[in-house]
Structure 1
Amino acid sequence: MSAKPTPAAARLLVDCLAEQGCDRIFTVPGESFLQVLDALSDTPTVDLVTCRQEGGAAFMACADGAMTGRPGIAFVTRGPGATNASIGVHVAQQDSQPMILFVGDVDSTMRGREGFQEVDLPAFFGPIAKWAARIDHADRIPEYVARAYATAMSGRPGPVVLALPEDMLSADTQATPRARLSPPPQAPLPEAMQTMMALIADAADPVAIVGGAGWDARAREYFQLFAERTGIPVATAFRRQDAISPSSKVYAGNLGYGPNPKLVERVKRADLILAVGARLGEATTDGYTVPPLDHSNRTLIHVHPDPNELNSVYPADLAICADMGEFAETAALWDDDDGIDFDAGARANAEWRDWATAHTGDFPLDMASCVQFMRDTLPADTIVCNGAGNFAGWWHRYWRYEGWPSQLAPTCGAMGYGLPAAVAAALRFPERTVVAVAGDGDFLMSAQELATAAQHGANLIVIVVDNGAYGTIRMHQEREFPGENRISGTRLANPDFATLGAAYGAWSAFAETTEQFKDALVAAEGRSGLRLIHCKIDIEQLAASGATVSKLRGG
């Protein structure tokens, strides 16, 4: 029996993606895009990663976009597949990460009849994506794919969703792919840079807040040069801790939930804030209080690649719309800094180092000591991936995100992100150590992606911190509604995670003391493949993490 040829439309779609540099697609297969799967079967340049749930596939695509700066790509089917994948779109939107989700759609003749698994996909995804559309004509596939890439990468990066009607994918077409696109260059105006340097020179107590939309290795390198030359303390936005090297002499720590109280006070009293890439959203600013939203004696210089973000919440005294790398390089090479030389950067760095040094606690398995031991044991450029929950506070405080990229963590507080992100990282950087850290509630949101990791040979370590509860929510319960027998809905009955890991083919270990964790980590580091360490901790260790995590869904 002769092979059925791939429909021209599906072949064109895959060729368009390859032309844009797509080398990996994350998917849960569906009958609505069988034509695309067939086209991928003879496209060796694109690695097809088969996932176990559409939310995991979307998380992986979001993380891949965060690491590469070009859209991570996911394919899912209509209805249940699309709605499952929506969490990854939400994360990509709030995290400002480039991503494109392709959704197999109902046949166009079925549309509007509530066909099988029908959802109005542009209407459904419109509020949580930069752009959501349907490709109704095969001849326009190159146009839509090129626009999707441009939209996902330009200005504030974010997700695009394209619906693919089943009959459209089977159509004939003579169209050809468009050439590879890159974001347009956005250099800062010299006049704006001159004004910025004058404002900084006039400041007495400035602070920089960096990381976010469009931040990349170039921005990290050059902004660090600029900050070290001027001595400005540099704080990173929430879960953007790899935006500057922690070994920099001006690194002041991270903002968000559970920051150093001394850093909080420094930002509040600053007479000048230089925000670069950061949206200054609710999480970074602790509800728009760090820095205060209204402050008559403070100057705000806000640099962002998207004009819609400038002056949207915080009023800027100087708004600069520019690409992060272009801005950072211009600042670093600026040859007229009026002799700017602050000593506050060194003082802020000393305060952070004191805050971020772990001291042995009283718990049998002390997580602060465990993270400190991880720092001493694993490579400096280890990529650490986590979802949401109080457990993440130990890594936020005590880990050093030295490499780029080295922190994959959702700023929108989505549970279940860490393991899928780690799978994407292990496939993208097979030569680097990758660690997924998860709470018990967080982990079971996406534990099935252990199968994906095993199937595709991902080389990673998973650390599950098990306190038998949705810990963050319980912390809030005890704070807001104290008293006997007031714990409701947050207790968890968990499996033996080490045995679960072994069932997926992982080397696994159980630890309930700090020494057992150290032994397990050394053993794990000496192996390759999938490895899992189940850490059993006391629920009362929540407060000891030093990470009072407010308004985050987590466990």
Structure 2
Amino acid sequence: MKVTDVLVQCLENEGVEYVFGIPGKEILDLVDSLSRSHQIQFVNVRHEQGAAFMADVYGRLSNKVGVCLSTLGPGATNLLTGISSAKLDHSPVVVITGQAAFERQHKESHQYLDMAKVFEPATKWSIQIKDSQRIPEIIRKAFRVARMEKPGPVAIELPENLASQMISSNPLPITPVPESIPVMESINDALTLMQQYKKPLVIIGNGVVRQEAVAELHPFIEALQAPVIHSFMAKGVLPQHHPLNFFTFGFNEKDEVSAVIKEADLLIVIGFDFVEKLPKEWNKKKLPIIHLDAIPAEMDEYYPVQVELVGNIKQTLRIINQLDIPTKSWVPFGNLQEKIKQSYQIEEIQKDLNSLPLTIENILHIIEKLSSMNTIVISDVGAHKVSIARTYQPRQPKRLIISNGLASMGIAIPGSIGAKLACPGATVICITGDGGALMNFSEIETAKRLGLSFIIIVINDSILKLEQETMNKMFGKSYGIMFQNPDFVQLATSFGVIGRRVNHVAEFENTLKEALCRSNELVIIDVTL
């Protein structure tokens, strides 16, 4: 059997449904093998960066590993931004790239770069296949490593001289990743510490969502009765109106939630990733910490761990919930929860829509009002991302996708394709600025070709607003942040999709209602601010 046929069998064995990428000479054997698969659909995209973003979001939402593919050289380097994003956001991804034949890797050669080395800092494991008989081992290890906590991307490089070789290998059986739990001594130490302090605060990170531990988290919170805050990527762990929900922290400015951290005397940190916000920025008092996560705590002066509970978060919380959790009811000073709601504009202002300004916050309130439990909102990076992190309240976890590790502009449109393929029954709403939109606007053709339906909201203000605000504060002026946009409605029409332009809040609500009714069509809404 041809090497690439065996490789595809291994991918099928791992449950792969989609491979995102662009064909190129060095991977044509692999694309040919994919063409004969009855399980895997090869999704030909318009830019390799888009392929990586699609694999990233697909991996986050599907409970599977996202897979992307490119040829050597520029195809592989184009993947790098999306792969780096998956690394820092802890998304399970396997990337397969072509490579020059062995006989030309020792000298300067057309399109040759040592991509296994280039990918090393952006992946959990990066490897070149040197022996085609080892493909089943490499693929099995790649998927296992990609899924293990903390999840992330793995890169595999296939030299072209191996692709058409004939081998007789078979896929390896899939075995579950072992789960561990903390020893009971550590769990008891944690409960003792909770008993000793008067004002514990629970901090929730994306690890709780990744390990599907939200259902186990709720009984713990109800028993402890202490305030709860969460990171950008953990939004949805508590309902908006839960009395212990003190919302999102981690902002560079106007972080009203930081007041509850200052008042606390013990931090119970569950599944938090430092990549979202370093402890130095939020634990300035160096409060003692109970660390509950799948891996040991990173050493940090501002993260003084007193007890480490290292193991599967879901299983650890299940054990804790069977024990005597101390009740530590306390309310932060000064009606803080209401102050946060007002400052972050979390609750909709009850006014006539015609009297409201067209702001991102008012747009978000309308999206919340018209959304269902299953609606997925994907945010691109920019000033609107900060507003979404503050204001928007998803009804459940994994229904707001925010890139907060690498925080790369351009993720939202290709990410929406990954989301729709992972969750075909869900309504997907993409919110992007005009800067991020045009980075990967070409992937609208991919979505149209695939027959996907979702809504793209383009915040159109012809400016990099976040950079403008930052420069004005730093220098009293801004520079290099203005640009001109195409007519997004005409651009949508040129792709064969529906385009609408809105200038008022009431107009946006009516347009969004119309778009939601068009469940089988792709709709672009140009929101001109």
Q: Which residue of 1 aligns with 2:116?
A: 122
Among 307, 319, 325, which residue is 1:337 paired with? 325
TM-score (norm 1): 0.89
CA 1:207–1:291 in 2, change beyond 3 Å: closer, same or farther? Answer: same
* Aligned-CA RMSD value: 2.2
Secondary structure of 2:172's aligned partner: coil
Among 480, 498, 511, which residue is 1:489 paired with? 480
**Contact 1:250 1:348 (C-alpha < 8 Å) held by counterparts:** no
Q: Which residue of 2 aligns with 1:398?
A: 391
Measured after TM superposition, the shift of residue 518 of structure 1 is 1.3
Among 19, 27, 31, which residue is 1:25 paired with? 19
**Contact 2:368 2:394 (C-alpha < 8 Å) held by counterparts:** no
**Contact 1:214 1:305 (C-alpha < 8 Å) held by counterparts:** no
Measured after TM superposition, the shift of residue 348 of structure 1 is 6.2
Deviations 1:279-312 (A, max 9, x none): 234x434x722122x62xx210112222364659
Among 170, 188, 211, which residue is 1:194 paired with? 188
Deviations 1:363-420 (A, max 9, x none): 7423222211111112132111112100123322222212342121211211001111
Q: Which residue of 1 aligns with 2:96?
A: 102
Q: Which residue of 1 aligns with 2:347?
A: 357
Among 175, 194, 208, which residue is 2:202 paired with? 208
Secondary structure of 1:275's aligned partner: strand
Q: Which residue of 1 aligns with 2:502?
A: 511
C-alpha distance in structure 1 between counterparts of 2:238 and 2:298, whole Å: 22
Measured after TM superposition, the shift of residue 536 of structure 1 is 0.7
Secondary structure of 2:113's aligned partner: coil
CA 1:109–1:75 in 2, change beyond 3 Å: closer, same or farther? Answer: same
**Contact 2:283 2:303 (C-alpha < 8 Å) held by counterparts:** no
**Contact 1:210 1:234 (C-alpha < 8 Å) held by counterparts:** yes
Measured after TM superposition, the shift of residue 155 of structure 1 is 2.8
Deviations 1:495-547 (A, max 9, x none): 1112212221221110111122112111111112211100011xxxxxxxxxx
Structure 1 segment 76-225 matched on structure 2, within 5 A? 76-213=70-207, 215-216=209-210, 218-225=212-219
Measured after TM superposition, the shift of residue 313 of structure 1 is 6.8
Matched AA of 1:224: H
CA 1:204–1:527 in 2, change beyond 3 Å: closer, same or farther? Answer: same
**Contact 2:56 2:418 (C-alpha < 8 Å) held by counterparts:** no
**Contact 1:250 1:345 (C-alpha < 8 Å) held by counterparts:** no
Matched AA of 1:357: E
Greater shift after overlay, 526-535 or 189-198?
189-198
C-alpha distance in structure 1 between counterparts of 2:119 and 2:263, whole Å: 41
Q: Which residue of 1 aligns with 2:313?
A: 324
Matched AA of 1:70: K
Residue 299 of structure 1 pairs with residue 288 of structure 2: yes
**Contact 2:489 2:526 (C-alpha < 8 Å) held by counterparts:** yes
Measured after TM superposition, the shift of residue 140 of structure 1 is 0.3
CA 1:43–1:443 in 2, change beyond 3 Å: closer, same or farther? Answer: same
Q: Which residue of 2 aligns with 1:407?
A: 400
Deviations 1:181-213 (A, max 9, x none): 432112222221111111112221221111224
CA 1:214–1:18 in 2, change beyond 3 Å: closer, same or farther? Answer: farther
Q: Which residue of 1 aligns with 2:460?
A: 466
Deviations 1:153-183 (A, max 9, x none): 2231111111011111111111110112432
Deviations 1:72-110 (A, max 9, x none): 111111111111100111111111111111111111112
Identity within the alignment, % = 24
C-alpha distance in structure 1 between counterparts of 2:298 and 2:14, whole Å: 27
5+ long unaligned stretches in structure 2: none
Secondary structure of 1:288's aligned partner: helix
Structure 1 segment 371-386 matched on structure 2, within 5 A? 371-386=364-379
Measured after TM superposition, the shift of residue 217 of structure 1 is 6.5
C-alpha distance in structure 2 between counterparts of 1:212 and 1:223, whole Å: 13
Residue 236 of structure 1 pairs with residue 230 of structure 2: yes
